[in-house]
Amino acid sequence: MAEYRIVCTLQSPTCNPLESAHIVNVGTGDQQGYSRLWTVSEVYVSMDLGNKFYTISPSSGKRANVYKYQCNKCGKPTLRSASDNKWDNNLDSLPVCQR
Ligand SMILES: [Zn+2]
C-alpha cells in the first residue's frame, strides 16, 4: 500500500457551463513539484487497490484525505478532499500542474 500526496490538478469544464470545473487529472509528488500525472480513473483504480491520496493545506499545513466523488449534478466521477469528516476545497486551491 502506498500514499500519494496530490500537489497540483488539471480541471476541465464538462457537462454544465454554469458549474465549476471538474478535476480530470492530478499530479502527485512533493513540494518540488509533481512526479506523476494521473487521470481520475487511474486514481480510482489505485484507491481500489488500497492506496491512499491526500493533500496538505498550504495555509494550515493540515492533511486532508482525498476520496472518490461523483458530481451530484452530472454524475461525472471526480475527486474531493475532506478533513475532520468535512469536505474542504483543498484540491481546488492547489496549483495547476505545469506540463
Ligand atoms: Zn458535473
Euclidean distance between CA atoms 84 and 71, whole angstroms: 21
How much distance in Å is there from the Cα of 50 to the middle of ligand 1? 26
pLDDT tens for residues 17-63? Answer: 656 678 999 999 998 899 999 999 999 999 999 999 999 887 778 88
pTM (two decimals): 0.87
Residues with CB under 5 A from ligand 1 (ion): 15, 71, 73-74, 76
Q: Specify whether the CB–CB gap between 24 and 40 falls below 8 A.
A: yes
How much distance in Å is there from the Cα of 47 to the middle of ligand 1? 21
